[in-house]
């Protein structure tokens, strides 16, 4: 993937003060930042509809949205979304400045599946000198997710995809009749960037993940009622000399932790500083069951 090399080379030169950025790129970056800010602070009253970005989410979550349940968000969600949008704007600006061939950005797309028109907005279509024209999704990630999730490659993503990134990517790609390239991922903390590539041969995966989307659309359109799936909480543990020690607490699974309907499904869930963390400022964590508050 030559585009990854080009970006890293450009950033390396930028560190040495050896690059110039065309004023048009800076202006577009400023416009994108303004739009991101306005999006986050312009009210969130968007009506629910079937969207490409949501179709890979757990069906229970989508049913809640369809049925008009109010999503709850904590105050930090705004910064989380805003930072994601700003990182995306920065990646786009750097790609433009480094001369990468951008065929389309923020492109509106649509696809008819199960007799329903599904819309979305793809991040970017790149024409890479080696890999050709593909649809890419830009993600900002925590250090853990950057190395342990995206960093372990496409197959790892495929095996653990609580946010439906594969469904989303294949839907965008299919709407443009192009292959899915994968994810351009930035570590929000270190500033590192990596291209996590989808395989060249992807007919089977495309069929599988678009099939998931179709099945979800059918269920959503046929009045499928809310049913909480067996979202098994995880036993909290830490390791001492290679041995796992269980605290007796149970953590909410990832999907429910980040779900806006969490309090509807788990009214007794508690947010508490992570018991097993040794950090001075322990990250807040959602517990399904909190028996032990301190080690
Ligand atoms: S909290 Fe969990 S079970 Fe409830 S809707 Fe969200 S993802 Fe589904």
Q: What is the 3-state secondary structure (H, E, C) of the chain?
A: CHHHHHHHHHHHHHHCCCCCCCHHHHHHHHHHHHHHHHHHHCCCCCCCCCECCCCCCCHHHHHHHHCCCCCCCCCHHHHHHHHHHHHHHHHHHHHHHCCCCEEEEEEEEEEEECCEEEEEEEEEEEEECCCEEEEEEEEEECHHHHHHHHHHCHHHHHHCCCCCHHHHHHHHHHHCCCCEEEEEEEECCCCCEEEEECCCCCHHHHHHHHHHHHHHHHHHHCCCCCCCCCCCCEEEEEEECCEEEEEEEEECCHHHHCCCCHHHHCCCCEEEECCCCCCCCCCEEEEEECCCCCC
pLDDT of residue 92: 98
The 10 Å Cβ neighbour count of residue 115 is 9
pLDDT of residue 73: 87
Sequence-distant (≥ 6) Cβ neighbours of residue 28 within 8 angstroms: 92, 93, 96
pLDDT of residue 42: 86
Which residue, 138, 153, 149, is CA-closest to 100?
Answer: 138
How far does the centroid of ligand 1 lie from the alpha carbon of residue 73, in Å? 14
pLDDT of residue 14: 98
How far does the centroid of ligand 1 lie from the alpha carbon of residue 286, in Å? 13
pLDDT of residue 230: 80
Cβ–Cβ < 8 Å for 163, 62: no
Ligand 1 pocket test: pick from 68, 73, 228 the residue with the most ligand atoms within 8 Å of its Cβ.
228
Residues of the chain falling short of pLDDT 70 = 44-46
Q: Does 228 contact ligand 1 (Cβ within 6 A)?
A: yes
For residue 244, CA distances in Å to 81, 102, 237, 239 come to 35, 48, 6, 5
User: Which domains, from first to last, does the chain contain?
Assistant: 2-221 (3.90.320), 234-289 (no CATH)
pLDDT of residue 254: 86
For ligand 1, atom 7, the nearest C-alpha belongs to 256
For the question of whether the overall pTM of this predicted structure is more than 0.85, the answer is yes
How far does the centroid of ligand 1 lie from the alpha carbon of residue 291, in Å? 22
Report d(CA 181, CA 124) in Å as an integer: 10
Which is the closest atom of ligand 1 to the Cα of 231?
A: 3
How far does the centroid of ligand 1 lie from the alpha carbon of residue 27, in Å? 41
Ligand 1 pocket test: pick from 48, 60, 163 the residue with the most ligand atoms within 8 Å of its Cβ.
60
């Amino acid at each position: 993937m030559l585009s990854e090399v080009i970006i890293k080379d450009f950033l390396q030169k930028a560190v040495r003060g050896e690059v110039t950025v065309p004023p048009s790129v800076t202006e577009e970056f400023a416009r994108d930042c303004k739009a991101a800010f306005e999006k986050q602070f312009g009210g969130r009253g968007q009506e629910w509809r079937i969207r490409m970005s949501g179709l890979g989410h757990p069906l229970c979550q989508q049913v809640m949205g369809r049925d008009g349940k109010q999503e709850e968000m904590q105050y930090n969600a705004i910064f989380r979304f805003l930072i994601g949008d700003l990182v995306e704007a920065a990646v786009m600006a750097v790609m433009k400045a480094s001369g990468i061939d951008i065929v389309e950005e923020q492109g509106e797309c649509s696809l008819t599946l199960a007799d329903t028109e599904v819309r979305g907005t793809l991040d970017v279509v790149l024409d890479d000198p080696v890999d050709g024209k593909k649809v890419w999704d830009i993600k900002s990630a925590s250090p853990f997710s950057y190395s342990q999730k995206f960093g372990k490659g496409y197959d790892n993503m495929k095996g653990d995809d609580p946010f439906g990134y594969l469904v989303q990517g294949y839907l965008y790609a299919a709407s443009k009749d192009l292959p899915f390239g994968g994810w351009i991922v930035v570590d929000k903390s270190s500033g590192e960037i990596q291209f996590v590539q989808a395989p060249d041969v992807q007919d089977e995966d495309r069929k599988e993940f678009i099939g998931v989307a179709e099945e979800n659309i059918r269920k959503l359109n046929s009045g499928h009622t809310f049913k909480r799936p067996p979202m098994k909480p995880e036993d909290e543990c830490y390791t001492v000399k290679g041995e796992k020690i269980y605290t007796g607490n149970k953590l909410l699974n990832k999907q429910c932790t980040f779900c806006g309907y969490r309090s509807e499904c788990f009214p007794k869930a508690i947010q508490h500083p992570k018991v097993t963390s040794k950090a001075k400022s322990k990250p807040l964590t959602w517990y399904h069951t909190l028996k032990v508050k301190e080690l």
